[in-house]
Chain A
Amino acid sequence: MAGHTAGEPLECYSIPIVLEKEPDIDQHGNPIREPDGKQRYRCGFRIGGGIDQDPSQSPQGYSDKGVYVTYIHDNSPASRCGLQLHDKILQVNGKDFTLVTHKQAVESIRKKPVLKMLVYRKGVPSLQKPPNTMVSHTQFQAYPHHGQPQQYSTQQPQYQPQY
């Protein structure tokens, strides 16, 4: 799956990883905040790539325009969650990362405090599947609307007065 052309249909096995961010603090232990006052969180890794970047310019020699993990900080949520160097991020919190700009990728990652990611890693076996099935590896399934349970209490049960 290396060398995947962005925008082409893609089907492969991926590794699910959940990363829980930690609050970002400075060297004195004070929390770092965004300009609007919100607490900033850090994941502890670096990403590179995107469809607006040229992978041939990448020091790591990545083969396509996907988003890759280029560095993992020690003692960070990234190091603890199972993410590895050079993992290609396929999806974050449901958003497809095979067709994003670099900035879009950064924004997406920064948004939520918990990241549910699907990554591709070299060495993962390739997928063999018959044609004519749902091609995207993002499966959307509309859930049936169960609705509310039926209210029965508006029916007054029969009461026979006994004499």
Chain B
Amino acid sequence: MSSYQLNAGSGPTRAMGSSGEPSYMDLSNMPVDNKQQQTMMWQQNQYMSDSGIHSGQTTQAPSISSKSHGDEIDDGDMDPSKMMFDWGLGGDAYNQEQVDEINQQLNQTRSQRVRAAMFPETMPEGVQIPSTQIQPDQPTAVQRLSEPSQMLKHAVVNLINYQDDADLATRAIPELIKLLNDEDQVVVYQAAMMVHQLSKKEASRHAIMNSPQMISALIRAMANTDDIETTRCAAGTLHNLSHHRQGLLAIFKSGGIPALVKLLSSPLESVLFYAITTLHNLLLHQEGSKMAVRLAGGLQKMVALLQRNNNVKFLAITTDCLQILAYGNQESKLIILASGGPGELVRIMKSYTYEKLLWTTSRVLKVLSVCSSNKPAIVEAGGMQALAMHLGHQSQRLVQNCLWSLRNLSDAATKMEQMDNLLMMLVQLLSSNDINVVTCAAGILSNLTCNNQRNKVMVCQVGGIEALVRTIMQAGDREDITEPAVCALRHLTSRHMEAEMAQNAVRLHYGLPVLVKLLHPPSRWPLIKAVVGLIRNLALCPSNHAPLREHGALPRIVQLLIRAHQDTQRRASISSGGPPLSGYVDGVRMEEIVEGTVGALHILAREAHNRAVIRGLNCIPLFVQLLYSPIENIQRVAAGVLCELAADKEGAEMIEQEGATAPLTELLHSRNEGVATYAAAVLFRMSEDKPQDYKKRLSMELTSSLYRGDTNWTDPPGFDDMAMPLEDSRDHMYNPHGSQSNMYGGGHHVGRGLTGYEQVPIDSMQGLDIGSQHSSNYGPMDNLPDLANPGDINFDNLDPALGPPTGDNPNLWYDTDV
């Protein structure tokens, strides 16, 4: 192999080295018409060994190259006289003129001969080229060299295709690195272009990847240049490299990420594409990239890009990057929030139809929706409605992600308007075959109907009751589905215009049997609690009383009550003396079960037959015991159910026999209006059979004890539309020992309450306005019954002076201006 320097040159290479070995060149990119040039050059080089020609030939347009075409082609290398020597001068004698003519001809056809020798395949058919061969056994120089030239040609062709990175690595890369670091921007640009071209072929790409200095030089050039084309080439190179693990590693190690993030502000779209795709690959496959991108401020830039761009594929990649960065990283989610992410993402969901983009965006929203700061922002930006738009999409993955996001967001969206479309879709999705879809839909409905009248009415109107009942039936013992569905029904059956319709609808769609069944094992406490609450609501509708009884709801509810109550008693005895143990079983406190079951029995007891059953189950002792509970809600429901039971004579008698009078009287002093009122009502009903006189005194007693704490009484629950749970409105600052001064506006009578009661234990008497302010006819309260002691109060010992002062009153009848 001759040591020819093949300087076909695809770039401004000044020196390809002079070691004599053939160099690898990327000739495939060269335009074909330059073959002529190449041929000419080879033609020249034939006569030069180790010439080390630095031709500097470029294959680009002259305007770009700093050197013009054909500068250094030496035309004067052909020495005709040499040829003539080869020929010898034997044979015919030609005169000088003829010789000159022949020489000229031969000169002109020389290139053809050389071309024929080297590239016989390129010769057109039937062309006669004058031969210079004089003697058959003495081949011409061209002929002699034709074979080696052919071999060379083959070798070059092989080299062009041969993946020999070692060679390139040792030869071209160091030079390119130097050029990339050059001060001259144009040089840098050329070098970058060269590298870009090289990076398109696999062998050279590997060479580049394996050279960390090359990568560093590229990144530096990319970051420091003002020329956008250089940036583009460099970015393109990195993009090509990013399809391989080594490339990713190399880029990462050389600090490519900050530079790429900087490129995200570029005005040139191709640069943006290269940058975001490279970053995407890094985030997907390169360990440590996420942290680096976050540190480099990538999140803010990516969110900003969402605004600028309309290309759906670009947006899909960008949102996927955001999702990778935000998953599991709270800080990233907050940064996205601060950069206005939720608004942009919701806008994308609303505006585009490209499935992949919708899918990636829904995943970002899903990741953000578990963050409590992002949630309200997404909801306020209209996220619920935007996600709802795609619930009918044929792409299952999109629908599923939307549902997950909606479910996560749903507890923050209970006050949103314009949810009608969403609610309709959700009711439809309840009939889906996919379990996940049904689970999510039930959960979302449960939350959205919580405390929201408009949503409740809407769901009822679109057949939600029927759909939910059917869902519960089909779900069997899958509590993931039944629990939210039952909760949704519970919301739908109370406190809105269509509640009564809903209560009837559950029955009409055969919901009662399956609901009562859910009270039994294997149901766990959360589900049981929900079902009990639903049954309570259903019992508000009189038509449900008999069916519920027939399906055996009452005994089971009582059973649950007893179990829960025993559990609380056990805990109380364990921790006697100390703070009460609040025991959670499956995340439910047994006190809640007690309250729920008694509450249900309270409403069920509106019907006479049910009352008989309840009495027959021997619950009254338990109810009376519950009156002693420290929890106000339990007191209230216990007093409530006793109130209903006391409507029957047998019930009233049983209640009195259980010694309820004492705790009930105690409860008259309760600061909870409901408790006090129910207690008063029970006592009242219990006194139906008593003598008139007794009744009068009792009612005096009751009303005075009911009204002595009137400073802080708010409206009773019956009159307000209570959106808040009952307990909240009961947060009184009431101080039973200090309210005297508030009651009497002018501050007088302050001391009166205390001094007159000395013979009686103070505790229960404090705050009792037994006497009236105006008339002093009520004598000292010597004989007041001892209300602090449990046990039956003997009303017969009441001082007659306490009776209503008919006829005793010397005061004139008068009126007061208010």
Contacts and interface: CB of A to CB of B under 8 A. Distances in A.
Contacts of A87: none
A153 B715 contact: no
Nearest to A110: B818
Contacts of B494: 144, 146
Contacts of A149: 410-411, 414, 446-447, 450-451
A116 B719 contact: yes
A143 B446 contact: no
Say which size band chain A's interface belongs to.
Answer: 35 or more
B818 A42 contact: yes
A37 interface: no
Given A7-B700, A142-B674, A152-B447, A94 B775 contact: no
A54 to B, nearest CB: 5
A99 B703 contact: yes
Nearest to B715: A94
B726 A152 contact: no
A63 interface: no
A20 to B, nearest CB: 14
B537 interface: yes
B260 interface: no
Contacts of B669: none
A113 interface: no
A118 to B, nearest CB: 10
B537 A140 contact: no
A107 to B, nearest CB: 7
Contacts of A45: 817-818
A156 B599 contact: no
B439 to A, nearest CB: 11
Given A7-B699, A157-B408, A57 B813 contact: yes
B443 A43 contact: no
A29 to B, nearest CB: 20
A108 interface: yes
B410 A142 contact: no
Interface string B779-818: 0000000000000000000000000111101011111111
Contact of B716 (A57, A70, A100, A138): A138
B816 A102 contact: yes
B591 to A, nearest CB: 12
Interface in A122-163: 132, 136, 138-157, 159, 161-163
B356 to A, nearest CB: 11
Interface in B456-509: 484, 487, 490-491, 494-495
Contacts of B747: 35
A55 B722 CA distance: 39
Nearest to A104: B707
Interface string B49-75: 000000000000000000000000000
A40 to B, nearest CB: 10
11 contacts: A46-B815, A46-B817, A53-B809, A94-B718, A103-B773, A132-B647, A140-B674, A146-B491, A149-B451, A150-B450, A155-B370
Given A34-B745, A47-B818, A145-B633, 15 more contacts: A6-B699, A7-B700, A53-B813, A57-B813, A59-B813, A94-B716, A103-B774, A104-B772, A109-B818, A142-B599, A142-B726, A143-B717, A146-B494, A150-B447, A163-B284
Interface of B: 284-285, 324, 327, 363, 366-367, 369-372, 375, 404, 407-411, 414, 443, 446-447, 450-451, 484, 487, 490-491, 494-495, 533, 536-537, 599, 602, 633, 636-637, 640, 647, 673-674, 677-678, 681, 684, 695-696, 699-700, 703, 707, 710, 713, 715-719, 722, 725-727, 743-747, 769, 772-775, 804-807, 809, 811-818
